[in-house]
Structure 1
Amino acid sequence: MKNDTKICIGALLLGGLATYYYAGYHALKNAATKKEIINHRSIRKGDLDFLRQVEFEDLSITTFDDLTLKGKFLPANTPSNKVVILVHGYHSTNFREFAHFLKFYHNLNYHILMPNNRAHGDSEGEYVGFGWLDRLDIMEWIHEIQQHFNFQPLQIVLHGISMGGATVLMTGGETLSQDVKCIISDCAYTSALDEFKDVLHEKDIPPFLLIPNAKRVSKKAIGFDIEEASALKQVKKTKIPTLFIHGDQDKYVKPYMAYELYNACASEKDLLIVEGAGHAQSYQTNPQLYEMTVKNFLKRYIS
């Protein structure tokens, strides 16, 4: 999401969201692999050592529109029925988004599933789903992981960052398996349309000049109106306990969105605002607070 401002404005000026998605798709095919992450200087030594020691399995699904999406699976240390599905954000990949966070869940003895979203990494697709198409993909991943464990009872956590945070909220508004116990949403936007409007306002571009055309283009190219991609509408329907996390210095997805989502959420809920944290930087800014909050939240819903 950090590069979204320039990309979004440029694409809208060139004719709408279809151009935006198409450009994003080609940029995202330069996927961050495990090897590339290991060579990245920003990774902490403890996380680096962990990545070098573990081996991931390859999983895949076929979507409702016949795309093949790829994911990485890391089994728990010992027999466990706890699974976390980690959903990355826009202009990111599974390893790029969660390399710093894998050890945390592994130490809690969770099986870890990290999909690459449609049009990201090694997954197929020309257009980014902005959470709305992705919610259907995550539902398919839930079924895939249930099948992987021969449909034994599971305790599944959905944890997403940025667009991934919006994705898990949109997923939570659907009718899900009872195996899905809770949701953790980090720096999610209220809706794709709200996010685009914020970007336009920052650039002093009246939204009414571009949004109607963008909605028409997205409907034609992707099959849904961007107004449908609303986490805010979905949280009003959810029954799944949800933890909202946001940095108070987020310049890309404004903190007010976290409060709107939290207030609208129909299920049991918690909110963590991390002081000094920018977009998708809450964990890096205060890892102790982040881990403690997530652990305490999980203890309430995961046995």
Structure 2
Amino acid sequence: MAKRMLWFTGIFSSLTALTTVSGFAISNQLMYLKKKDENLILERETTAKRYDEYWYANVKKSERWIESANGYSIKAIFLEPHATNRYAIICHGVTENKVNSFKYARMFERLGFNSVVYDHRRHGDSGGKTTSFGHYEKMDLQAIVQALKLHVGPHLVFGIHGESMGAATTILYAGMEDSAAFYISDCAYSDISEQILHVMKTKTKLPTAISLKLISVFLKLRDGYSIRTVSPREAVQQIKSPVLFIHSTHDEFVLPKMTQELYELKSEPKMLKFFEEGAHAQSFNADPHAYERTVEEFLDRFGLLKEETKKSAL
């Protein structure tokens, strides 16, 4: 009997150790997701002529450190080519940094807006030790909004543009504090748990159901939040301001049906655009002119463009 108990105890201890090791390993992959090399991002955007060094050197701008409620500083750049109270805050995707946001800043500049680009936590120059796929990032975005309001004053009119994780962060923020005049969600996931499952099924050989439970437990223990709270599909139902939903039909990483779901859950006012070119987060890169026309149409439809910035095509 004693030998049998020792045998069961040994098996239980081994399983516990294996579960612990697996939980740490899998949660590590998410919390410390490998980022793209910053020099390669700059080279990519410069080579593709989406980042113009001459423009950046000459545009009116100010670099700012903004304190997050999460206990670290966020690096932001206020780009102010216009004498206007209209701004767009731009949220980049996971593994990218603020350099990837400059192409959208140029687009908004052509549409009569100033902009704010910034690095998410653990990306670029910002602080923060982990990536939380929107949970803590939405609070950082809230800090950016508060800083912009203090900078511009009570007459501020602003919107938020997000790409991929930045889009999910935008929706999560809006569900918490719907203070912007508009939102643009480009290829957001509707639920991080389902997105993780999709990636595991298509990119790994992990047993998905067990792995997701381990991820949930270990993220709660190690990073202090539950993945159940990272649910744009819940947040989007609270948004009253206009939302433009964008996705590429060829996106195999975040499936287009997730944007379709978010669009259907959002009450009016709203607008949906699927692009036929481009993979994940590549709709702008594949056809920047069509992308800009879509954004312009959206802003015009809901009275968010000044008359002098409207183009004759509208």
Secondary structure of residue in 1 paired with 2:126: coil
**What amino acid does structure 2 have at the position aligned with 1:106?**
E
Answering whether residue 74 of structure 2 is matched by residue 73 of structure 1, we say no
Q: CA deviation at 1:40?
A: 5.1
Where structure 2 has 5 or more consecutive residues not aligned to the other structure, the ranges are 1-20, 307-314
TM-score by length of 1: 0.86
Q: Which residue of structure 2 lines up, in the alignment, with residue 82 of structure 1?
A: 86
Structure-1 separation of matches of 2:232 and 2:44: 35
Give the Cα separation in 1 of the matches to 2:37 and 2:296: 34
The 1:173–1:40 alpha-carbon spacing in structure 2 relative to 1, beyond 3 Å, is closer
Any residues of structure 2 matched to 1:248-287 within 5 Å, and which? 248-287=249-288
**Offset at residue 61 of structure 1 (A):** 1.6
Question: Pick from 103, 112, 122: which aligns with 2:115?
Answer: 112
The C-alpha deviation readout for 1:196-226, integer Å capped at 9, x for no partner, is 0101222454421201110011111221111
Q: Which amino acid aligns with 2:178?
A: L
Aligned to 1:5: none
Find out whether 1:168 has 2:145 as its counterpart.
no
Q: Which moved more, 1:52-61 or 1:277-286?
A: 52-61
For residues 204 and 236 of structure 1, the distance between their equivalents in structure 2, rounded to whole angstroms, comes to: 34
Cα distance change of structure 1 residues 32 and 105 upon mapping to structure 2, 3 Å threshold:
farther
Matched, 1:91 2:95: yes
1:186 to partner: Cα distance: 0.4
- 1:10-48: CA deviation from partner (whole Å, max 9, x where unpaired): xx9563553124533xx4495459xx7268553227845
User: 1:199 and 1:148 mapped to 2: Cα distance?
Assistant: 40
State the Cα distance separating 1:171 from its structure 2 match.
1.0
| Distance in 2 separating the partners of 1:136 and 1:294 | 26
Residue 20 in 1 paired to residue 29 in 2?
yes
Instruction: Compute the displacement of 1:185 (Å).
Output: 0.5
Q: Distance in 1 between matches of 2:146 and 2:122?
A: 21
Residue of structure 1 in register with 2:211 after alignment: 210
Deviation of 1:189 (Å): 0.6
CA distance, structure 2, for counterparts of residue 29 and residue 135 of structure 1: 22
Whichever residue aligns with residue 114 of structure 2, its letter is H
For the residue of structure 2 that corresponds to 1:100, the secondary structure is helix
TM-fit CA distance, 1:267: 3.7
TM-score by length of 2: 0.83
Deviation digits for residues 104-133 of structure 1, max 9, x if unmatched?
A: 212223121011111111100111120121
Q: How does 1:38-187 map to 2 (within 5 A)?
A: 42-44=47-49, 47-77=52-82, 79-95=83-99, 97-149=100-152, 151-177=153-179, 180-187=180-187
Q: Which amino acid aligns with 1:60?
A: W
3-state SS in 2 of match to 1:236: helix
CA distance change for structure 1 residues 258 and 92 in 2, over 3 Å: closer, same or farther?
same
Q: Partners of 1:238 and 1:215 in 2: how far apart? A: 27
Distance 1:260 1:241, change over 3 A: same
**Is the 1:31–1:122 contact (alpha carbons within 8 Å) kept by the matching residues of 2?**
no
Per the alignment, in what secondary structure is the counterpart of residue 78 of structure 2? strand
Task: State, as a whole percentage, how many aligned pairs show the same letter.
Answer: 25
Q: Work out which structure has the larger RCO, using CA pairs closer than 8 Å and 6 or more positions apart in sequence.
A: 1
Structure ID, larger Rg: 2
Q: Secondary structure at the match of 2:238?
A: coil
Q: Where do residues 217-232 of structure 1 align in structure 2 (5 Å cutoff)?
A: 217-232=218-233
Say if 1:288 and 1:46 are closer, same or farther in 2 by CA, change over 3 A. same
Cα distance in 2 between the residues matched to 1:16 and 1:99? 34
Q: Which runs of 5+ in 1 are unaligned?
A: 1-11
- The amino acid of 1:94's aligned partner reads K
2:36–2:96: 8 Å Cα contact kept in structure 1?
Answer: no
Aligned to 1:9: none
Q: Give the letter for the 1:103 counterpart.
A: R
Q: Is the 8 A contact 2:23 2:215 kept in 1?
A: no
Partner residue, 2:241: 240
Q: Separation in 2 of the partners of 1:218 and 1:153?
A: 40
Aligned-partner Cα distance in 2 for 1:186–1:279: 9
Deviation at 1:64, TM superposition (A): 1.6
- Per the TM alignment, residue 54 of structure 1 is displaced from its structure 2 partner at its CA by 2.5
RMSD over equivalenced CA pairs, Å = 2.3
